Structure 1
């Protein structure tokens, strides 16, 4: 299996995989990228060490079985056998139910929540909006201090549990919306600044330095966020994303990140042959955000 990581400021990068180490090579075709191969499969634990630093989780980790500070784990999404053939459910006319996995049931898991989705159907709900699912320290939280933007909070059940939840929702005719946070990461377990210029002091947010969308290195940061968004929609069959506080996405480029995200999601919808949508939360009352 090939492993790769963007670490433009590192002098060397070492892959730690199931107790073995391997020095990664610079990618001659992609500036700042390192890559290497190692024997691995679904569930394999791994991490990266930059120069003489500690072993850190993969910024693009698909699973953090031991929390944000632990090693990453390989996830082979194609192993999951989907039960439903889902054509999608468009947003117009929707009746949404905002669901916090940790408090929706006594168990606080995705599997327990999936077992009670029939109650929402009886209420006339058409779409379930899941509050943020990315990993955060500890077991309990609202999700807005998440890190590892490609992974699912392990106490909720991890990636397989989310797929089972979506499968059950679609089986009942419910669309699934996921609340995603691109404007900041939580203060604990956020190792992105060690790897590269994921944040910039050019702009500031209520949570500190802004996510780097327009300063040097921002091409890769934008690709990181776009890849995360597409993974939720493609790998987990989520129907739409609710974008948290987009007014805090400072971007002076000619093509704003939100426009690029919208175009990218439209292209994926055409490829998959089912409707996908974005919902933006904004304090600016900007008419350009309304379609």
Structure 2
């Protein structure tokens, strides 16, 4: 197995699959020698890579399955530079590419037309996966037979995969929940309380379903692990980068520019689309771009016309 990307999630998957008996090659764009020597990655400190994990900066890796664990906004350039040759490519990114508007699986399929492409997504923190804690994820593949084979291969005793053919729905679930997590973090950061957070989660989920329906996805996909499951996780934990970003935004605090906040890219891509009813996404984008302060953002949401649920 090849894993492209030595960030937190890539490293967590490398630990998981090495423990499950896979020979794993972990590709790192930078710092491969240091990671190989220390057996530790910068974004997953304190977690040691098993000796079965080979770390390299050479992208020419021979493997039957390649997991692509790089941020969505870097995926196109990574694919162009590395040209993974595995017959099965599984994207593990969550987001919408701002340049093309495509999700990570569709980006991968466009760049590698001869490969079987799937999307791995759902409620998961890298530190939990690396610790061997029980986790359930969604594996989306348009070819159901190929998806079933990947589901069997990539499931472990502590990592249970559920299968769907709705790639767009799975992509959008993983992308849109990050936007709502920013909003939930902002609510908590501003001290508005858990009741307000619950309202953001519920109305945010309705917003996610509307966007998915408009994109041609199956709304029910959003009710599964890749949508609702991931939404609950990221809106309720400081482990979520998007949640932490929202909290910092509401407090007027600086946020580490080196930390990837995929929900921000997704919000900016979707916000302002006149064909979509996305009040929470629109407010998140306006907050992040300084077009609204938090008090004005709250007023905008609370002053919306009353309507049936």
What TM-score do you get using the length of structure 2 for normalisation?
0.30
The structure whose residues are more often helix, as a share, is: 2
What TM-score do you get using the length of structure 1 for normalisation?
0.31
